[in-house]
Amino acid sequence: MRVAAIDIGTNSTRLLVADVEAGGVSELFRHSIVTRLGDRVDVTGRLAGDAQQRVFDVLAGYRDEFMQAGAEIAGGVATSAVRDAGNGADFVAEIGRRLGVTIDLIGGDREAQLTFAGAGSGDAVDDQRTVVVDIGGGSTEFIVGEAGELRFHVSTNIGAVRHSERFLHGDPPAPAELDALLDAAAAEIRERVPSEWRAGIKRGVAVAGTPTVLASVDLALEEFDPWKVHGHAITRERCAGLLHQLAALPLAERREVTGLHPDRAPTIVAGAAILMATLEAFELPAVTVSEHDILYGIALDLAARG
């Protein structure tokens, strides 16, 4: 079955068109556009009108593409920024009215489950105890699996957009601001992920925009290539190096870094800090970057519902 899976996140709006057969996902194409839906939601508690319009415009283009591609079913999810906003439900309903596409407003638990299903579809989750980390704009999910089974999951209010707005005010951010962000992320991980689920982790898998962008920077890719990014390992030492390299640059210079899309430059420092805090909290020497993320989980769910 050919499906179109949509993920409306805090920072980006993404599309995957894929064929799903026998529990496997064969990707045809995907897009990710930074729409900044969650700008200042942490402060105002509402989705701004211009931010909503950016998403509507992107989704209209996506609809044309997946219809031309022959998608038999289309649907998707909205996550952290939308569920935190007082007008989030109205926004999702408006998508249905304007575009005829059903978007489910999901909670953190469902987000974690779909992410785990997506990661598992690409054999990222094996018999070793594995943590899958999904760093989003407004939330980060930690999912622990073993022998192909989800054992523990939690959604936290750690996010690249949220924590940029809360902690990083200088350009470039001051060392004290960065330290405060790292301390806050580490404290929330310790509080929300019990020690028994942080211990004994043999493998880390990182999905979504932050790790894929960091992999692109690490590989110095002139043009983003998901096939080169997928499976790339980022060591703890290299993550620390990337974090301090990017944090030392003012935004205008950060936008020029090879491998870093300019639209990702405002939030990549916070994202890298969250990944660094994750590596330290789970005592991981490295994480493997995966393109098999929540979009794959959504695709599998759409096909199962038929």
Q: CA-CA distance, 48 to 185, in Å (whole number)?
A: 26
For residue 238, the model assigns a pLDDT of: 97
Domain with CATH 3.30.420.150 in the chain: 123-290
Per-residue pLDDT for 81 more than 60? yes
pTM of the model: 0.87
Residue 23 pLDDT greater than 60, yes or no: yes
At 2, list the tokens: 């050919």
* CA–CA separation, 223 and 37 (whole Å): 25
Taking each helix axis from N to C end, the angle separating 108-121 and 294-305, rounded to the nearest 10 degrees, works out to 90
Helix, coil or strand: residue 192: helix
Position 149 scores a pLDDT of 84
What is the residue-averaged pLDDT of the chain? Answer: 93
- Residue 242's pLDDT band (boundaries 50, 70, 90)? very high
Q: Mean of the pLDDT values across residues 224-253?
A: 96
DSSP 122: T
Percentage, residues of the chain above pLDDT 70: 98
What is the Cα–Cα distance from 295 to 30, expressed in whole angstroms?
Answer: 9
Q: How confident is the model at residue 124 (pLDDT cuts 50, 70, 90)?
A: low
2-108, superfamily in CATH?
Answer: ATPase, nucleotide binding domain (3.30.420.40)
Half-sphere exposure of 56 toward its Cβ, with a 13 Å CA cutoff? 16
**Which pLDDT does position 126 carry in this prediction?**
60
Question: What tens digit of pLDDT does each residue of 166-203 get?
Answer: 999 999 999 999 999 999 999 999 999 999 999 999 99
Quick check: 266 and 252 in contact, CB under 8 A? no
Residues 208, 228: Cα–Cα separation, whole Å:
15
Residue 71 banded pLDDT, cuts 50, 70, 90: very high
As a CATH number, domain 123-290 is 3.30.420.150
- Tell me: pLDDT of 121 over 80: no
Q: Spell out the alpha helix ranges (H) of 35-84.
A: 41-44, 49-68, 80-84
List alpha helices for the chain, DSSP H. Answer: 41-44, 49-68, 80-84, 88-99, 108-121, 160-167, 175-192, 195-198, 209-218, 226-229, 236-247, 251-254, 265-281, 294-305
Does position 234 have pLDDT exceeding 60, yes or no?
Answer: yes
pLDDT of residue 123: 55
Model pLDDT for residues 213-233, shown as the tens digit of each residue: 999 999 999 999 988 999 999
Sequence ranges of the chain with CATH classification 3.30.420.40: 2-108
Residue with tokens 């390992």: 233
- Say whether pLDDT at 125 is over 60: no
CA 3 to chain centre: 20
